[in-house]
Amino acid sequence: MAFQGGCLCGAVRYEGQAHAGGGHCHCVHCRKTSGTGHGSHMVVPKDAFTCTGEVRFFESEAESGNKVQRGFCPTCGSQIYSTNSGFDGMVFVRASSLDDPEVFEPQMIVYTSRRPSWNKIDTDLPSFETMPPFEDMPEM
């Protein structure tokens, strides 16, 4: 399913031709970069994703030891997408940046051990206290 999105000011636009699932993450980095209790990410094959406009990146080390580069619009600060050294060939689109947020269908919740008590979780989704091993993740 094709989808589009971008930043608040319109300087960054993207489109994708396919996605492979996604979920909510309550890790400290996702909470801080989203400005709320979790980040919601749609997993997209890198070769099915194109982005136009200037995107700046902030790199940090995740709890897993992977390097995560979080891309944002340098004008308005909107989070757009990230990459993770442990998931080569994928980009993680911030669901909040989608033109049609209904395209996003979360399939799991990770780092529930870091979830603030006021951020309620969907008990119908598989939940993990940390990042599960790849083989334990729900099929996307």
Residue 136 has pLDDT above 60, yes or no: no
Write out pLDDT tens, residues 39-80: 999 999 999 999 999 999 999 998 888 899 999 999 999 999
Q: Whole-angstrom Cα distance, residue 93 to residue 28? A: 18
Contact 11, 104 (CB under 8 A): no
What lies within 8 Å, CB to CB, of 32 at 6+ separation is none
| CATH class as words, domain 3-130 | alpha beta
Contact 64, 131 (CB under 8 A): yes
How far apart, in Å, do the first and last CA atoms of the chain sit? 14
Q: What is the mean pLDDT of residues 92-121?
A: 94
What are the backbone angles phi and psi of residue 113, rounded to the nearest 5°? -65, -15
Of residues 20 and 82, more confidence is placed in 82
Share of the chain above pLDDT 90, in %: 79
Q: Specify the pTM.
A: 0.90
Beta strands 22-25 and 39-45 are antiparallel
Contact 28, 42 (CB under 8 A): no
